[in-house]
Amino acid sequence: MAIENEHVMADVIEVNEFPNLAQRYVIRGVPKTVINDTVEFIGNVPESQFMEHIQRASSPSETSS
């Protein structure tokens, strides 16, 4: 997604190495995806579902923290 759109910053984070982030984002299962600190989900979801989350996070009503 970061290849296709200049507005996307995509991070992969090895959570064991950053316990403060594990705590902050309450990581109880992996892979856990957090978009703009407003939308989050656990697991390998199908691409169409991932895109629904992207659309939700990019809608004007969602404000990032």
Partner 1 sequence: MGFLSADNQAEVKRLFEGLTGDVHLIYFTQRESPLFIPGHECETCKDTRTLLEEVAALSDKIKLEVHDFVAESQLAQEYAIDRIPALVITADSVKGRIRYFGLPSGYEFSVLLGSLLDASQGKSELSDASVETLGSVEKNLHIQVFVTPT
Which residues would be at the binding site for partner 1 (CB under 8 A)?
1-18, 21-22, 25, 27, 30-37, 47-48, 51, 54-55, 57-58, 60, 64
CB of 33 to partner 1, least distance (A): 5
CB of 55 to partner 1, least distance (A): 7
CB of 17 to partner 1, least distance (A): 4
- Classify each residue of 9-47 as buried b or exposed e, where b means 16 or more C-beta atoms within 10 Å of its C-beta: eeeeeeeeeeeeebeebebeeeebbbbeeebeeeeeeee
